[in-house]
Structure 1
Amino acid sequence: MPSEPRDETPDDPTVVVPAADAPAGPEALTPQEDAPDEDVEPPIPSEEELERTATPATVRRAPKYSAFITFGALGGMVVGLLLAVIIHPETRLVADGSGFISFLDGEGAVRTVMVVAVGIVGGFVGGALAVWADKRSKAPRLR
């Protein structure tokens, strides 16, 4: 029973299949004479050609977002700690801070929450300032 002719092209695209009309033997493996030489470097352009094709470059100084966010968060933490120390309540209902994690008892818990909350807000403010500085650093035609 005759089988159908099989397609000889492989499924893998990296496999090179020689064409049917390609010469067989060692001459098929020799490089072509008209192939460019790999050792030849392109010619160096002249001053006039460089001046004709050159475009003026501009340097844009973009801010580092991580630095803005970090300093915003640290500044917010300092402000939160100062607020917690300045606005502490004078009450007897606050624990004395002798628990397992003493800085999370009583006023320590209030200070910790204030530092974290205002630190997060400060990070967002720092990020917003970075976006503002980035927009300001762009050229007027790109705004």
Structure 2
Amino acid sequence: MPDLPRPEQPRPEAPSTDGPTTGATPDEAELARVATPATVRRAPRYGAFIVAGAVVGVLAGLVLAVATAGDSGVTGADGGVLPFLSGQNGVRWILALGLGVPGAFVGGALAVLADRRSTRRHGAGGR
């Protein structure tokens, strides 16, 4: 569908120039009078940092479990109450969860540090 031309909008009347405008057009002078200066601060997404830290921790736990699995002597034939936790599977689960939780905390801490750094950079230290 082709773009249709927009109808011309009437221009508002020029505001009175009671004060000095320093060579600015009346629209710019009005904007400078009513506009509040603002800065854009890019805050980190905490959830993304926490999930990324947990994933890195779980992967580190799985790599550690595989690297140390050689002849560890951990075997289980019966499986007990939870058969998926028998033998090496139990070691993998425990290491994955055991390093995933601290990884999530480390990710959260990194998000807090990134947030403080961005706050300090923009000069809004006390909020």
1:80 has 2:61 as partner: yes
Give the match for residue 25 of structure 1. none
CA contact (8 A) 2:74 2:88 kept: no
Which structure's relative contact order is higher, taking Cα pairs within 8 Å and 6+ residues apart?
Answer: 2
CA 1:77–1:133 in 2, change beyond 3 Å: closer, same or farther? same
Q: Equivalent residue of 1:60, what SS?
A: coil
What is the 5 A alignment of 1:25-44?
none
Residue among 92, 95, 103 paired with 1:122: 103
Q: TM-score, normalised by structure 2?
A: 0.67
Identity %: 46
Residue among 95, 117, 120 paired with 1:136: 117
Q: CA RMSD in A?
A: 2.5
What is the 5 A alignment of 1:1-143?
46=15, 47=27, 48-88=29-69, 90-92=71-73, 94-96=75-77, 101-138=82-119, 139-143=121-125
Q: Distance in 2 between matches of 1:103 and 1:77?
A: 17
Q: Distance in 2 between matches of 1:60 and 1:45?
A: 34
- Structure 2: unaligned runs, 5 residues or longer: 1-11, 16-26
- Structure with greater helix share of residues: 2
| Structure number, greater radius of gyration | 1
Count the aligned residue pairs: 101
Q: TM-score, normalised by structure 1?
A: 0.60
